[in-house]
Amino acid sequence: MRRRLTFLVAATTSAVIVAFLVPMTFLLRTLANERVAAGSAQRQLGVLTLVGTQSKQELPARVEEYLKRQQDGTRTTLYLPEGYLQGRTMLGAQVSDDAGVARAIEVRDPYSRPQDGALISYRVLFAGNEAFVTRDEVSAEIREAGVLRRTLVIGALAILLLGIAAFAADRLARRVTEPIQEVARAADAMHEGSLDVRVEEAGMPEVIALARALNRLAERVGRLLSAERDAVADLSHRLRTPVTALRLDTEMITDPDVSERLRTHITQLERTVDAIVHDARRPTRADSTGSCDAAKVVRERVAFWSALAEEQDRPLRTAVPDRPLRAKVSADDLSDVVDVLLDNVFAHTDDGVPIEVWVVPRADGAIVLTVEDGGTGLPAGDIVSRGSSGAGSTGLGLDIARRAAMASGGWLELGQSRLGGALVRVVLGKAAS
- 287-428 adopts what CATH topology? Heat Shock Protein 90 (3.30.565)
- CA gap 124, 130 in Å, rounded: 10
pLDDT digits (tens, 9 = 90+) for 97-120: 667 788 888 778 887 887 777 888
- Whether the CB-CB separation of 388 and 264 falls below 8 Å is answered with no
SS3 (DSSP) at 78:
strand
pLDDT digits (tens, 9 = 90+) for 325-337: 999 988 888 988 9
pLDDT-based confidence at 289, cuts 50/70/90?
low
- Whether the CB-CB separation of 298 and 334 falls below 8 Å is answered with yes
Residue type, 20: F
pLDDT-based confidence at 306, cuts 50/70/90?
very high
- Whether the CB-CB separation of 394 and 404 falls below 8 Å is answered with no
- CA gap 172, 39 in Å, rounded: 50
H or E element that contains 113: strand 111-115
What is the pLDDT at residue 276? 65
Percent residues over pLDDT 90 in the chain: 15
DSSP letters spanning 307-351? HHHHHTT--EEEE--SS--EESS-HHHHHHHHHHHHHHHHHHS-T
The answer to whether residue 20 scores a pLDDT higher than 80 is no
Torsion of CA 424, 425, 426, 431, to 10 degrees: 160
- CA gap 3, 166 in Å, rounded: 10
For the chain, report the end-to-end CA distance as a whole number of angstroms.
31
The per-residue pLDDT of the chain, averaged, comes to 81
- CA gap 139, 116 in Å, rounded: 9
Domain 2-145 has CATH 3.30.450: yes
Question: Residues 6 or more apart from 299 whose CB is under 8 A from it?
Answer: 318, 320
pLDDT-based confidence at 390, cuts 50/70/90?
very low
- CA gap 284, 287 in Å, rounded: 9
CA distances for 149 relative to 16, 18, 29, 88, angstroms:
22, 18, 11, 41
CA distances for 330 relative to 225, 290, 337, 405, angstroms:
21, 5, 11, 11
- CA gap 168, 8 in Å, rounded: 12
pLDDT-based confidence at 297, cuts 50/70/90?
very high
What is the pLDDT at residue 285? 47
- Whether the CB-CB separation of 110 and 121 falls below 8 Å is answered with yes
The answer to whether residue 165 scores a pLDDT higher than 90 is no
pLDDT digits (tens, 9 = 90+) for 176-217: 777 888 888 888 888 777 778 888 887 778 888 888 898 888
- CA gap 254, 121 in Å, rounded: 136
What is the pLDDT at residue 232? 72
DSSP letters spanning 186-210? HHHHHHTT-TT------SSHHHHHH
pLDDT-based confidence at 385, cuts 50/70/90?
low
The whole model's pTM is what? Answer: 0.43
- Whether the CB-CB separation of 349 and 372 falls below 8 Å is answered with no
- CA gap 110, 115 in Å, rounded: 17
- CA gap 426, 413 in Å, rounded: 6
The answer to whether residue 287 scores a pLDDT higher than 50 is no
**Average pLDDT over every residue of 265-281:** 69
- Helix and strand numbers, DSSP H then E, in the chain: 9, 12
- Whether the CB-CB separation of 122 and 134 falls below 8 Å is answered with yes
What is the pLDDT at residue 275? 63
Domain 195-284 has CATH 1.10.3470: no
Q: Where are the domains of the chain?
A: 2-145, 195-284, 287-428
